[in-house]
Amino acid sequence: MERYIGMDVHAGSCTLAVISEKGRKLKDFPVETNGQALVEAIRMIPGHKHLVMEEGLQNAWLYETPGTGPLGPTCQNA
């Protein structure tokens, strides 16, 4: 089961959108812009995860967040 996670990063909160392998939006929800909170939120999503986020200054620190590499098995900049 593949899950594609789009992440919109802002100073105070991030929004995660979870899309199925068939392209159906499963859910979207806000998460505090905090490394631990983001890692926990992403770990709660079942399946093989692909994380996509906009490239920018707000998300540069995400690559250095301890956990499962850059917050998931696959991390791409959009």
CB 7 within 8 A of CB 31: no
Q: What is the largest CA-CA distance in the chain?
A: 32
Per-domain boundaries in the chain: 2-77
The average confidence (pLDDT) of the chain is: 81
Select from 3.40.50.2020, 3.30.470.10, 1.10.3720.10, 3.30.420.60 the CATH code of 2-77.
Answer: 3.30.420.60
* DSSP label at residue 37: H
**pLDDT by residue (tens digit) across 5-15?**
998 888 889 99
Across residues 27-31, what is the average pLDDT? 97
**pLDDT by residue (tens digit) across 48-58?**
988 887 777 76
pLDDT at 65: 63
Judge whether residue 68 has pLDDT over 90: no
Q: What is the CA radius of gyration of the chain?
A: 11
